[in-house]
Amino acid sequence: MIKQKILGTGLSGLVGSRIVELLSDEFEFEDISRKTGTDIVNFQDVLARFKTSNAPFVLHLAAYTDVKGAEKEKELKEKSDAWMINVAGTQNIARACQETRKRIIYVSTDLVLGGDNMPKGGFKEDELPNPLSWYAVTKYEAEKEIEKINSAWTIVRIAYPYRAIFEKTDFVRFFRDWLKSGKTISVLTDRLITPTFIDDLVNVFKILMEKEATGVFHAVGNQAVSLYDAAVMIAENFNLDKALIKKTTRAEFLANRPPEPFSSTLSNAKIKQLGVQMHSFADGLKAIKEQL
């Protein structure tokens, strides 16, 4: 069987490496990174690489994701690392897609949306963006770069992605490891999220490519939870001491940290209309426990 090729950025990251792991039997991934000689901040680098590939799809996952680090560089604006990678890099990928007529799937974040009110069922794809942190601003600006091109595009917003095993820490593993240490931790009760089980993204990307779907899609779990409730669920799932988890609020905890909305919960109704099934957070935790 001839495998369809996919050009991908961020394939060694938390999400990308799992996608490659689960889809490598069906697709041939071509890595776009400095390790393979392509710097996405350099347009000529990107264009030259795209011209040597007959892959019809580009999966763009590479991003500067250090929210705290981005906020510290906020005053640098377009010269900040977050802007250079998230916005300038995405602009280069998008332009190269347009020039070589490739379809792009760009992975964005729930943090481009959010506010002090939570719409019933979560924020939909057509909600007016409201990025609060500098990281969120750069991801929203990157989305606008994708939407400018004439080539076919898809934007997939995910939230708090988690998986069973990876060398770097996601938010589930952070809480799990912290609680294993026996130390107390204060967690926000007034911060609502819809975590994404990374394994679900396999079918999301497959179906989006098969149907050549365009537009914005939210690929998040079926369950909205507060960060505090998520931490308690993690403790219960892994038989850890939930008494170590203390309540706090954004007003107390975020005084010297990047701003976050009360809710960035997303509605996944649109992606489910394509036949995609998403885990609830409770079921996702059970799944990763079985994989460990």
Per-residue pLDDT of the chain in tens (292 residues, 90 and over written 9): 789 999 999 999 999 999 999 999 999 999 999 999 999 999 999 999 999 999 999 999 999 999 999 999 999 999 999 999 999 999 999 999 999 999 999 999 999 999 888 788 999 999 999 999 999 999 999 999 999 998 799 999 999 999 999 998 999 999 999 999 999 999 999 999 999 999 999 999 999 999 999 999 999 999 999 999 999 999 999 999 999 999 999 999 888 889 999 999 999 999 999 999 999 999 999 999 999 9
Q: Domain with 186 in it: what CATH number? A: 3.40.50.720
pLDDT tens string 61-90? 999 999 999 999 999 999 999 999 999 999
The count of structural domains within the chain is: 1
pLDDT tens string 213-234? 999 999 999 999 999 999 999 9
Sequence-distant (6+) residues with CB within 8 A of 180 are 240
Beta bridge partners, 106, equal: 60, 155
Q: Extract the tokens encoding 128.
A: 């007016």
What domain range is 164 assigned to? 4-291
Identify the pLDDT of residue 150. 81
Identify the pLDDT of residue 118. 79
Query: 290: buried, middle or exposed (CB in 10 Å: 19+, 13-18, 0-12)?
Result: exposed
Identify the pLDDT of residue 129. 95
Q: Extract the tokens encoding 133.
A: 């942190």
Identify the pLDDT of residue 115. 87
Identify the pLDDT of residue 254. 84
Distance between CA atoms of 41 and 38, rounded to whole angstroms?
9
